[in-house]
Structure 1
């Protein structure tokens, strides 16, 4: 399991379990470059062969709802870290 700390100057993340999936409610506070970085996160999962791995719903004011299959949870969190939306990620037992 991963525990992460959001970059609170840039993003607010709320995470809930939705059946077999994890649902993220994300709000980006700034314009550039983090809005563009979220597009890169989305492209990463749109380009792979799994159609239902990560589903993005984009709303006004840089709000997103992202539904992540449990088997892609770690990949999604690490991709957020890669694009500096998170300050830290650590493994727990």
Structure 2
């Protein structure tokens, strides 16, 4: 099954690219109400025992480059949903 997700374009911009065994995301927070959300996502992954699961690189203007190991992809998307950066998560056949 393939994981798909959607987000509110007024709150966040998200793009992802597959690179080898990782995914690279570019995420830009547009809503001041959600500025702290990526920090909370980052804290969640920093608190576990796996160092290379999700690496978050902050830039100016609330933009982030995020490198996610393939085996943590679902966990990362669900964390984005938890903090309301992603509005819909669905597994589809295919």
TM-score bin (small chain): over 0.9
Per the normalisation by structure 1, the TM-score is 0.95
Structure 1 runs not aligned, ≥5 long: none
* Matched residue, 2:24: 23
Structure 2 runs not aligned, ≥5 long: none
CA RMSD after TM alignment: 0.8
SS at match of 2:66: strand
SS at match of 2:26: strand
Runs of 4+ in 1 over 6 A off after TM superposition: none
Q: C-alpha offsets along residues 34-79 of structure 1, whole Å, 9 cap, x if unaligned?
A: 1111111000001100000000000000000000000000000001
**Distance in 2 between residues matched to 1:35 and 1:47, nearest whole Å:** 20
Per the normalisation by structure 2, the TM-score is 0.94
Q: Number of aligned pairs?
A: 92
